[in-house]
Structure 1
Amino acid sequence: MSSDQAIGSGTRRVIELALALGCFAIATSEFALVGLMSNLAQELGFTFQQVGQLVSSYAVGVVVGAPAMVLLGAAWPRRKAMLVLLLLCIAGNGAFALCSGYWELMAARFVAGLPHGAFFGMASVVAASFAAPNERARAISRVMAGVTLAILIGTPFAAWFGEVAHWRAVYWSITALGVAACVALALVLPAQSGRAGPSARQEFRAFNIPAVWLALAVAAIGFIGTFAVFSFLAPVLQHVARGPSAAMPLLLALFGLGAFLGNLVGGWGYDRLNKTAIVLSLSFNLVALLAFPFLAQTVPLLGLGMFLVGATVALSPILQAHLIEAAPAAANLAASSNHAAFNIANALGPWLGGLAIGQGLGLVAPAYVGVAAAACALALCVQGIGFGQAGNRFRSRKVS
């Protein structure tokens, strides 16, 4: 047993809670803007396309920051690196709450996105390092529950709070959450988890293997449908289900509930089934997205559809645990790059979904884009099924 694993279960849960709080703050920053698009557009005179580009700016920050932040901080103790990442998140969200100019807001969103993937990746590695080998995916899913709770609670609350207060008040609240997470981690994260990792060169060398790149490709392709459907929920509610806009927070909450439960099931499944869980999760993605256009015709069934699409998040902890196991000497970079891959899907999903809608295929067409993407990811996964073998060999190893 490693020194990390030697701590008591109660202390592990406290650490996981602090890590989850950081994940909650960062993820709420990302998703809150979806429910505040109308508020920003109306107050600042932006088009919806311009507000959508603020979402894209954050995603670009994630894609750039996930590997860059890890490699730049490779020589730092992990505890210090995570605190610096949270401070960067605080700065980005605080600036967003202050600014009014379009390019200033774009820059603030980019800065807020930079620590996203690196923090989530390091949080997953820290959680796994404290867990027994057959419990690591569940430990990761408990920390990543902060992300799904941000979807379940943070995003609907932000949409409501933006209406009754102001969108700036939402982002000041998110900034305060970041401060609270930073203080909590500084107080509870033990010194032994703060040791420095491999050098940037060593980490990249260990990262640059086919198993890692294949898993990242599966993430980038497999989540396209989730983000495509999520991004066009408002027009589907209005024009397909013909429901009131007041139903939007409930639909977001159902999506979040599906994501929360899917995340926990995904961690549980990987601890028991290893690479088979990846195939099963992608198969579920395909079925859920195929069903969505038929469920989108009425508001109650649309709620069920959003719950099922939310549950496709089960793939997230599965791939996160697999990447840490496949490249233990590059755990920080591999786990962080997983979130960069998700945000590639976050950029591709709305874009491809919008292209499908623009071709006259209807507002539910993004779901069919997702079906095609999930099928491609599943085929890629089955074709390269050996990429799970590294994880099987790893289960007796220690996460560095």
Structure 2
Amino acid sequence: MLRPRLRYIMLSAIALVLLASGCSKVDYKKIDSPAYLRVFNNLNYTISLANKDEPVPFLTMLIDPQTDKDGIPVSAAIKGDFLDQRDPYAPPYPSHAGTSTSYKNPEYPGKENVLVGPVLNGFDLSSWAQIPSGRHRVLFLFRPVNNTPFFDLEPRLKHNILIDTTLTLDTKEVYTLHILQKDFATKKNGIYLRKENFHKLPLSDSMVYVNFYNMSAKGFQQADNSLKTGYKKSGALQNGIKDNMNIFYTLFKNEPSAIAPLPGYTQKFLGTITRNSEVLEVTQYYSFPLFADGASDGIHTTIWQHLDFLQPGMDPANNPYYPFESNTDGNWAPVECLLNGKTAIKGHDNSALLPNMIVNIPSGIYNPRSFATVNTIEIVNGNIYLTTVQRKYAPPIY
């Protein structure tokens, strides 16, 4: 199916656009046996004197490329260009398509005008691209940070290969592909292809689900902090967490005069997280009720989530680093999933910020209405990312 935004434009105004602006129609070729693919570039970078001579990880993805006699790519069955480092939040809709003037693409398909996934078992896959199933050669190449399409670059700029691999994608399976640093000391890079299963699980629409991955490079947390970029927005997480951690959660409610923890949902043990950038199995999903607040009307809730990653053996009620310490030696990292991910609690400057896992959006006659979601939180070399998937919902009635 087409992205929702593209579909609505085509249905309502395609003739006007073609005649008035001279734009050419995009021809979408039907894919008979597709797989569904989403790609994130997790190679973080900050230009400094220490790495000024290294190639900036601004990438082009080529699937089934054709090359000339010198091995320079001249075409490809599928191209994902201008692939920049990912955004902290990947929302449950294709937010980048047609909304930004920047040529940089924080994910694939992102801004690309391609066939995307359908609603599969109730889940909206419009942030995944359709890819022919089967065996494919996949190249990721460094490219200059400019708005020149890859195949229009000079030949000397089209052969700096980061990754050259072969992948097999099964029909109607959902894949998330990550480009990662695998070893912090050697700077070895690679890919991580995960076959998702959320659309196959018997998940309740009254529960919010989340699973966790620490895909940081081997040796990142143990390395001296002077060797790391140090993302202040990540709070105590910026220098990494230990390879094995426990996860606790607290649900908070926005009261008119205060922010209060929800009774019965304070510092509850959720599960564990183990650093791994090689094993591709989907980790366990944990859950909490959408309307955990018994006083809510069952339509909208103001609750949000606080997470604590703690070294095994540490008790969240007796945390020696709480509440302000940011240098925790990887033993504790707090994360707040609050509002839009940009609003912090006063005094909690050591917390990383993400958006709420509960989606509040106009639907039907309600503005807003709260929806349960399926979420993945990924930690990579001092950064934390949230990907949210949502069931199809009724559009608002105006």
TM score, norm. by length of structure 2: 0.30
Q: Which has the higher contact order (CA 8 A, sep 6+)?
A: 1
Q: Flag the structure with larger Rg.
A: 2
Q: Higher strand share goes to which structure? A: 2
More helix by percentage? 1
